[in-house]
A = this chain, B = another copy of it.
Amino acid sequence: MSLLTIGTVAFDDIQTPFGHAERVIGGAATYIAVSASYFLQDIKLVSVVGGDFPSTELDYLRSRGVNLDGLQIKQDEKSFFWAGKYRDDLNTRDTLATELNVLADFNPVVPSHYKNADFVMLGNLTPAVQKQVIEQFPQRPKLIALDTMNFWISSALDDLKEVLGMVDVLIINDEEARQLTDEYSLVKAARVIHAMGPRYLVIKKGEHGALLFYNSDEDPASDQIFFAPALPLAEVFDPTGAGDTFAGGFIGYLAKTGDLSFGNMKRAVIYGSAMASFCVEAFSLDRLKELNEDAIQQRVDRFVKLVNFDINRAPSAL
């Protein structure tokens, strides 16, 4: 199966309690593509950069099997830039600068040879741009997943609701789920979000893991819920990109296997969580770039061990 992703390809400036990474490679589509590249080779990327984006980094993406025919390069402009500073607990961050640059008038064009993609991951971007991409497909892909953020929930809610009605999976964090639905209980929030369109909902809870909800309109009795842990880590170095890395591992595993059963969706959440657990160990894509299949499988084995228990069903148990 093949995967198309859109999102930013950008520069980040990141301050954490452990150091300062100046003008390093970032962007939702970058993290998504690199993470997914450990699961499949056929990845098509739609985005835009300026002439300042290093060609070595584009070569690296190509070396991971990422097709860049859909990446617009505006030689006379500058790439999207974000600067942020994390507080001591690493759970909250302050945005210090956001320079849209090439993103200000981004008009995504899906090349014709991209339009057979089976899986689509719409990384965090203006909801209207996410919608433009969906509308360029002559026939509906097998699965469309979407990420968004608090900024669009407050500033472009109508557009966001429109595109939510067109996708299968929404991937957001717990605070965003609450903001989008005005429900504190995530179980209630999931019901509201399902009514907006997505059958599948992944709520990321950072160090507390993730919840996967499946809603069946035809048979409510088959609604399902899955609780995936996060790996308890002694050191979290930099959380930037963890959510995108999760999304890339999740959709990459689904595209690799082509299996949309709930059992396989659960495995995809575990693989996404494993990829995210690597991402936070270093700045930028540094840790993601040095992975291999063995390291990923060993990490997944730690997740298996972490939550594994065996309830003794002998009558004497109670």
Contacts and interface: CB of A to CB of B under 8 A. Distances in A.
Interface of A: 38-39, 88-89, 184-188, 205, 208-209, 211, 225-230, 232-236, 256-257, 263, 266-267, 270, 293, 296-297, 300, 304, 306-307, 309-312, 317-318
Contact of A89 (B38, B184, B232, B257): B184
20 contacts: A39-B318, A88-B184, A89-B184, A185-B234, A186-B232, A211-B232, A226-B309, A227-B230, A227-B232, A227-B306, A228-B309, A229-B307, A266-B309, A267-B309, A267-B310, A270-B311, A293-B318, A296-B318, A300-B311, A307-B307
B232 A229 contact: no
A306 to B, nearest CB: 5
Contacts of A187: 232-234
Given A225-B306, A226-B309, 6 more contacts: A209-B209, A226-B306, A227-B230, A227-B232, A266-B309, A270-B309
Contacts of A234: 185, 187-188
A224 B89 CA distance: 25
A110 B230 CA distance: 43
Contact of A209 (B208, B257, B296, B310): B208
A263 B305 CA distance: 11
The copy count of this chain in the complex is: 2
Nearest to A187: B234
Given A208-B209, A235-B185, A296-B318, A311 B267 contact: yes
A307 B227 contact: yes
A156 to B, nearest CB: 27
Contacts of A307: 226-229, 307
Nearest to A309: B266
A311 B306 CA distance: 13
Given A185-B236, A188-B234, A267-B312, A227 B209 contact: yes
A55 to B, nearest CB: 30
A263 B38 contact: no
A190 to B, nearest CB: 8
Nearest to A188: B234
